[in-house]
Amino acid sequence: MAKKFISDIAFSESVKKQQEKMGSRAIYQKMAEKRDWQQKLTMIMPFIRDRDSFYMASVNADGQPYIQHRGGPKGFLKIIDDHHLGFADYSGNRQYISVGNFDDNNKVHLFLMDYPNRTRIKIWGEAMVIDKNDPELQFLYDEKYGSQLERFIKIKVTAWDANCPQHIQQRYTLEEMKPHINTLNQKIQDLEKKVEDCCPKENQL
């Protein structure tokens, strides 16, 4: 019987056949044998805590996929323990596509991006929709968020992997750029002051 790997969660038999056909199966087999994908979150805890958004994929009973962008204050996706993540789900556009999909199929996939450092983490898991009054998950709730809490989403992590940085363009938020902008503005002011001290305006043409 063939050995099972954590990466088999994504590399199904159909995927492996395609890899065989295209000549990449042996590469991924060796990679799995040397260092398989991970299940424990220990290594990526700091990365997760620093995220202010992620993409979440679900599938309905007909196999129709759906990707939702989730955003919030940095660290709103929280680590419950080595194998579980969670976040508070607040009232939004009231479409409820993701939570409806979880009723049919609880498989979920998260895609976390760090554009400045050109890093992406893929997380496979199983989603659980938890009542908003659950006492053990109240730490996920942020009363400053300013929207009505509807439920908690708890995710059991079954695998995670990191992609290579190729084709990830560096992008920065205004918050990330502010220190650099402030530094440049200060340099401009200092240079303007030097020009003024050297050549007073009354002596300039």
Q: In what order do the strands lie in the sheet with 53-59?
A: 65-71, 53-59, 107-114, 119-131, 149-162, 84-90, 78-81
For 78-124, write each residue's pLDDT tens digit.
Answer: 999 999 999 999 998 899 999 999 999 999 999 999 999 999 999 99
Contact 69, 51 (CB under 8 A): no
Domain ranges for the chain: 1-36, 38-162, 174-203
pLDDT at position 193 is 86
Q: What stretches of the chain show up as alpha helix (H) in DSSP?
A: 13-22, 25-34, 45-49, 97-104, 174-198
The domain made up of 38-162 has a fold known as Pnp Oxidase; Chain A (2.30.110)
Contact 185, 147 (CB under 8 A): no
**CA–CA dist 7, 161 (Å, integer):** 9
Please give the pLDDT value at position 146. 85
Q: Across the 205 residues of the chain, what is the mean pLDDT of every consecutive 10-residue run?
A: 87 97 96 95 96 97 96 95 97 93 97 94 98 97 92 98 87 86 89 82 58
Q: What is the residue-wise DSSP string for 72-112?
A: -STT-SEEEETTEEEEEEE--S---HHHHHHHH--EEEEEE
pTM attached to this predicted model: 0.86
